[in-house]
Each structure stands twice: as C-alpha cells, then as structure tokens.
C-alpha cells in the first residue's frame, strides 16, 4: 500500500466538489469535528455487491457471499488509518425486516437495493484532529495507479463553482395527521397489552427538486454539522445522510455503539435553550426510553462478546446539535476472537434505537403499522476496511434522491407515557435542521 500526503485546509469542500461527480463517489464526513474525527472519500469502485428487493437468495448465501468478498480484501493494517481500501455502502432497514422474516412493504424506490456495497482500491482519508490528509492506494488493481494520478490532479484543481439546485416544493407528509393518531392509538394499545415496551414509529415525507443533489448536501451540512454525515452517488439514486448517531464501530476486537434516544428542540434564546436542555436531562420518560435501548444493545453485544466485557461507559449524556438536544449513551464490549466485523454488525442490525424493545416484536409492530417500507432510512451507512475495522451510522436524517424527488422520514419512540401530539410534533422537530437549510 502506498500512502501520500495532501495539504490540509479548514475548508475542504472545494476539493471534495472537484471529485463529487465521479462514478461511485462516496464521502463519509465528520462535519462535527469534536465528536467525529475522519472524512473518507472514494470513487471509481472496482467491484460491487448488491442484494435486490426481489432476491431469491437464501439469507445464509447472502451472508456467506458478502463475508467472502470482505475476506478477499483482508490485509494487515500498515498504519493507524481507519480505512485502508475495502467496502463502503449501505444496508437498508428493510434487509433487517427480511432477516426477521417479515413481509415486504411497498417503497417509493423499489429498485434501490437492500444492500449496496462498493469496493474501492484507493481512498482519501482526512484526520481533522491531527490536521493531515492521506491519499492511499492499495494497488491491488492494474488501473489504480492511473486513477490516483487523476484524483490528485482533480484535487489540486479544486472548484468553488455553485451547482444548480432548486427545491420546487417543501417536504410534505405522506401520512395524514388523523392516520398518524390512529396508528399511535393502536400501538399504544399494544404497549398496554404488554406485547412491547417501546415502538419506534416513523412517517415519510417527500419533495420535488431540480438540479444537483451535491449542492443540496453542501447547503445542509453547512448549517447542520454532524459526526456521521454521508453523500453517495449510486446508480439507482443518491443518498444524503446527516446522522448524529453511530451504530457500530469495531477495531481490534473493541466494539462500540452509541444509541440516541430522547430529543428536544433548541431555542435561539440562550436561557430557554438551557431550560430545554435541563428538561431533556431530567425527563423520566426520555431516560426510560434510552435505558430500554441500552439494555437491548447490551443483549445484542453479549451474543458476540467475551463474557463480562459488555460495559455501559456513559448513560444518557446530553449532546447538543444545531437544531436539537439529544440523549446519548455509549456501550462497549470486547468481541470473541472468532467474530468478524460483519458478524458484529449483523448481530446488532438494525439498531435498537430505531426499532424499539423487544427488538423483534417492535419490528413486527412497525411492519404492521407503517404503510411504507423505510428503505435506506433507519438502516446503516458503513465502511468495512481491508484491515478489519468497521464504522457505521444509523441512517436517520437521511434523504434518498431519485428522479427529482427527495424522500425523507422522521419518527420517535412511543412508550406507555407518550402523548400522540408530542410524538407527532417530534417528527417535525427532527426535520428542522434539514428544512431550515433549504429555506
């Protein structure tokens, strides 16, 4: 593997933009540089692994094939870089429903794969903490050297040109308010009957646009910096994710997950904003929601971890973002020696913060009550590095752009002391950071 250096600057978007139209372009960005550290950029994938919605492949074959592809690129790490060639892509929430044996539901982007992993032989890795940039090439493919020369030339010829983008109408809910209340009442009855303790119920929105979605990504990430953002150009559509939530990371057997559960809007008035933050921190309801998911994830991690190694390192800490305050917890574990990064990922997929508890039963309730499949939303955007490291987000605050239509969803956890008006309002609160960037 060859690792070269590029000059670091505080504003890297002009450099990223010079590469953004390339085939298979992907950017994993830590816009929030305190909670995140690295940006990873790649394009020109040399291979792809996709699982379509109508696949007839048995699940074991899907797992074996993806693990085989990842094993073929396995190598020892040459440095501390988080990504050293490998796979970058997404696994849709709907694949989790497939794992659970749930019936498929209609989706507005039915030709979007359930799994779309692209394999890259080179990458640009930005370390915001050390303020350095690495251009690495694994050189396992004959064409890699020529690609890297092109990438360096494009990087140096950075561009600040604004692309054309226009939102032709604002995001409109696809679920009527009365239908939301009816679904809430039904889920509430399920909770009272003891079938589940918490159910994460979501609703979809859509808007129409014209122009380049890269310009949309630039606008939103500027006003909404988060640690786990992503932009992906895929053949079937573009993915724009502004997620504050880590799903699973694993390196040298250390597994970390950081669920978010508990949200309150922010205020421009400092005094009111501090009051809202305190309200979130002292809310017994939000804390109970968070603790439920922490227990769920402790159970998920215990399946692939050494006995006694699962630890809650932080419980219900408040993290503040541009538009919202969140309650965040952190759970760590040491994996069994036989566990691969893919094993750890799938043992916890989909993330408990976007299902509810118990996970399997909450997923059944979601499948029964949400009229549309979730797609990439509530799935995960991830990288699997050749040296065994994985990191991933929960794909919330995530837009799927297809044929000049933007699809976006939002939701929240319903528990026994939830009020439907509050839960309905919270959906719109979670869209604030994105919608405000477009106004």
Q: Which one of 218, 261, 402, 430 is the catalytic residue?
A: 261
Q: Based on the residue annotation, tell me whether 29 is a catalytic residue of this protein.
A: no
Q: State the Cα–Cα distance between residues 34 and 11, nearest whole angstrom.
A: 16
The C-alpha torsion from 285 through 288 and 346 to 1, rounded to 10°, is 90
User: What span, in angstroms and rounded, lies between the C-alpha atoms of 150 and 405?
Assistant: 32
Rounded Cα distance between 213 and 164, Å, is: 9
Q: Report the C-alpha gap between 303 and 11 in whole angstroms.
A: 42
C-alpha–C-alpha distance, residues 88 and 350, integer Å = 17
3-state SS, one letter per residue, for the chain: CEEEEECCCCCCHHHHHCCCCCCCCEEEECCCCCCCCEEEEECCCCEEEEECCCCCCCHHHHHHHHHHHHHHCCCCCCCCCCCCCEEEEEECHHHHHHHCCCCCCCCCCCCCCCEEEEEECEEEEEECCCCEEEEEECCCCCCHHHHHHHHHHHHHCCCCCCCCEEECCCCEECCCHHHHHHHHHHHHHHHHCCCCCEEEEEEEEEEEEEECHHHHHHHHHHHCCCCEEEEEEECCEEEEEEECCEEEEEECCEEEECCEEEEEECCCCHHHHHHHHHHHHHCHHHHHHHHHHHHHHHHHHHCCECCCCCEEEEEEEEEECCCEEEEEEEEEEEECCCCCHHHHHHHHCCCHHHCEECHHHHHHHHHHHCCCCCCCCCCEEEEEECCCCEEEECCCCEEEEECCEEEEEEEEEECCCCCHHHHHHHHHHHHHHHHHHHC
- Cβ–Cβ under 8 Å, residues 22 and 44: yes
Catalytic residue status for 285: no
Choosing from 97, 245, 332, 426, the catalytic residue is 245
Structure tokens at 337: 């020696």
Residues acting as catalytic residues: 245, 261
């Amino acid at each position: 593997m060859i690792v070269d250096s590029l000059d670091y600057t505080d504003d890297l978007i002009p450099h990223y933009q010079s590469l953004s139209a390339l085939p298979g372009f992907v950017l994993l960005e830590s816009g929030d540089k305190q909670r995140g550290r690295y940006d990873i950029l790649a394009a020109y994938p040399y291979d792809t692994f996709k699982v379509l919605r109508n696949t007839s492949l048995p699940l074991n074959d899907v797992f074996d094939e993806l693990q085989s592809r990842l094993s073929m690129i396995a190598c020892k790490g040459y440095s501390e870089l988080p990504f050293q060639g490998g796979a970058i892509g997404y696994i849709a929430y709907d694949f989790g429903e497939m794992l659970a044996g749930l019936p498929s539901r209609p989706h507005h982007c039915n030709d979007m794969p359930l799994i779309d992993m692209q394999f890259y032989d080179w990458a640009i890795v930005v370390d915001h903490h050390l303020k350095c940039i690495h251009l690495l090439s694994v050189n396992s493919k004959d064409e890699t050297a020529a690609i890297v020369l092109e990438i360096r030339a494009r990087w140096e010829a950075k561009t600040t040109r604004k692309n054309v983008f226009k939102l032709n109408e604002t995001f409109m809910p696809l679920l009527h308010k009365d239908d939301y209340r009816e679904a809430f009442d039904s889920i509430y009855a399920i909770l009272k009957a003891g079938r589940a303790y918490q159910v994460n119920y979501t609703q979809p929105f859509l808007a129409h646009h014209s122009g380049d979605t890269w310009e949309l990504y630039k606008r939103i990430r500027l006003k909404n910096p988060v640690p786990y953002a992503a932009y992906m150009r895929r053949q079937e559509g573009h993915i724009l994710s502004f997620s504050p939530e880590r799903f699973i990371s694993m390196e040298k057997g250390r597994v970390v997950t950081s669920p978010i559960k508990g949200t309150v809007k922010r205020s421009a008035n400092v005094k009111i904003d501090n009051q809202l933050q305190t309200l979130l921190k002292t809310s017994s309801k939000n804390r109970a929601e968070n603790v439920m998911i922490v227990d769920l994830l402790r159970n998920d991690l215990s399946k692939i971890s050494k006995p006694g190694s699962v630890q809650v390192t932080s419980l219900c800490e408040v993290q503040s973002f541009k538009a919202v305050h969140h309650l965040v917890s952190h759970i760590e574990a040491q994996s069994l020696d036989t566990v691969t990064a893919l094993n750890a990922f799938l043992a916890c997929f989909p993330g408990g913060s976007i299902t509810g508890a118990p996970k399997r039963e909450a997923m059944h309730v979601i499948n029964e009550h949400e009229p549309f499949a979730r797609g990439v939303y509530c799935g995960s955007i991830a990288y699997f590095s050749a040296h065994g490291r994985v990191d991933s987000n929960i794909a919330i605050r995530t837009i799927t752009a297809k044929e000049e239509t933007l699809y976006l969803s939002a939701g929240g956890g319903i528990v026994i002391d939830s009020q439907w008006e509050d839960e309905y309002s919270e959906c719109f609160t979670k869209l604030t950071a994105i919608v405000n960037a477009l106004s």
